[in-house]
Amino acid sequence: MADHEKELKKDLKGALASIEKQFGKGAIMPLGQRSNMEVEGITTGALSLDLALGGKGLPRGRIVEIFGPESSGKTTIALHVLANAQKEGGVAAFIDAEHALDPSWAKRIGVDLESLLVSQPSYAEEALKIAEMLVKSNAVDVIVIDSVAALVPKNEIDGEIGDTHVGLQARLMSQALRILNPAISRTNTCLIFINQIRQKVGVMFGSPETTSGGLALKYYSSVRLDIRKTTGIKDGETTVGTRVKAKVVKNKVAPPFRVCEFDMMHDRGISVEGDVLDLALEEKIVEKSGAWFNYGNARLGQGRENVKQHLRDTPSLLEEIRAKVLAIRMTKEMPIEIGTPQEVAEANLDEMPADLLPPPPAKGKKGRGAASTPVVMPDGEIVGESGE
pLDDT digits (tens, 9 = 90+) for 211-237: 999 999 999 999 999 999 999 998 888
Specify binding-site residues for ATP: 68-75
Same domain, 325 and 219: no
Average pLDDT over residues 1-23: 85
SS3 state at 195? strand
Same domain, 125 and 203: yes
Nearest of 319, 206, 262 to residue 53 by alpha carbon: 262
Nearest of 240, 246, 284 to residue 46 by alpha carbon: 246
- 352 assigned to some structural domain: no
- 49 assigned to some structural domain: yes
Q: Where are the beta strands (DSSP E) in 80-222?
A: 92-96, 117-119, 142-146, 190-195, 197-199, 209-211
pTM of structure: 0.83
Same domain, 284 and 137: no
Same domain, 221 and 80: yes
Same domain, 82 and 221: yes
- 56 assigned to some structural domain: yes
Asked whether 156 and 26 are in contact (CB, 8 A), the reply is no
Specify binding-site residues: 68-75
Asked whether 377 and 167 are in contact (CB, 8 A), the reply is yes
288: domain CATH number is 3.30.250.10
Share of the chain above pLDDT 90, in %: 67
- 283 assigned to some structural domain: yes
Average pLDDT taken over every residue of the chain: 87
Residue 39 has pLDDT above 90, yes or no: no
Helical (H) or strand (E) element with 66: strand 63-67
Range of the domain at 283: 272-334
Question: What is the rounded distance in angstroms from the CA atom of residue 315 to the CA atom of residue 231?
Answer: 27
- Residue that wins the pLDDT comparison between 363 and 278: 278
pLDDT confidence band for 369 (50 / 70 / 90): very low
The count of domains in the chain is 2
Same domain, 199 and 309: no
